[in-house]
Amino acid sequence: MARNQELYDAILAGKRKDVARIVQECVDAGADVQSLLNESMIPAMREMGDRFSRNEVFVPEMLIAARAMKAGLEILEPLLAAAGATPRAKVVIGTVKGDLHDIGKNLVAMMLRGAGYEVVDLGVDIEADRFAEAVEKEQAKILMLSALLTTTMQYMAEVAKRLADRPDVRIVIGGAPVTAEYAREIGVHGYGRDANDAVKIVDQLVGAA
């Protein structure tokens, strides 16, 4: 399936109701959810970032586009989660301290739920102590950290340090500025480029691949 230009444009224009309507129409017509995401919705957010870099749009426009994107994701969420049967393992996920971006993190959480994982989503702006407490309380063996800013990704190293006494917990990181090299540098167990990759890495870590 090629890009749905109407959907792409509606996200960029921040037209929440139009996005919800178009996504619903596509779903009703049997469109492939992955293609909708990968060919129309995620590229629109990428384009928004590029326009921001070129000073063509500012934070309010990014925010409005993000809300429109979320309206579409809400419709896709039950479809992505539908495949999940018995939970395979528990995963704690959150966006690190100082960072408020959550669209990518939410998408990763949705895909993991769809793949049968139980996901405890802590939200955004999460301190190392809260990650450590949640892992303890939930008895989770996988911790996933998201960061979208070059400044906040540094904090992932702090979280890894805070969990140094829990070598049994596998830490996976991701987000636009994060790389596999950075993951190696801070000594975490995995890096995922996107939400599909995130599922593959977790599958490998829990031995389900």
> How many whole angstroms separate alpha carbon 122 and alpha carbon 88?
19
For ligand B12, which residue of 18, 77, 99, 121 counts as binding (CB under 6 A)? 99
For ligand B12, which residue of 15, 105, 113, 170 counts as binding (CB under 6 A)? 105
Radius of gyration of the chain (CA): 17
Is residue 195 at the binding interface for ligand B12, with CB under 6 A as the rule?
yes
Structure tokens at 122: 């802590």
For ligand B12, which residue of 15, 16, 97, 101 counts as binding (CB under 6 A)? 101
Distances (CA, A) of 151 to 92, 148, 157, 187: 22, 9, 12, 18
How many CA atoms within 13 Å lie on the side-chain side of 56? 9
Is residue 15 at the binding interface for ligand B12, with CB under 6 A as the rule?
no
Part in contact with ligand B12 (CB under 6 A); list of ranges 114-122, 126-134, 145-153, 179-187:
145-153
Is residue 45 at the binding interface for ligand B12, with CB under 6 A as the rule?
yes
CB contact at 8 A, 99 and 126 = no
Binding site residues, ligand B12, CB under 6 A:
42, 45-46, 48-49, 52-53, 59, 62-63, 66, 98-105, 107-108, 144-146, 148-150, 172-177, 192, 194-195, 198
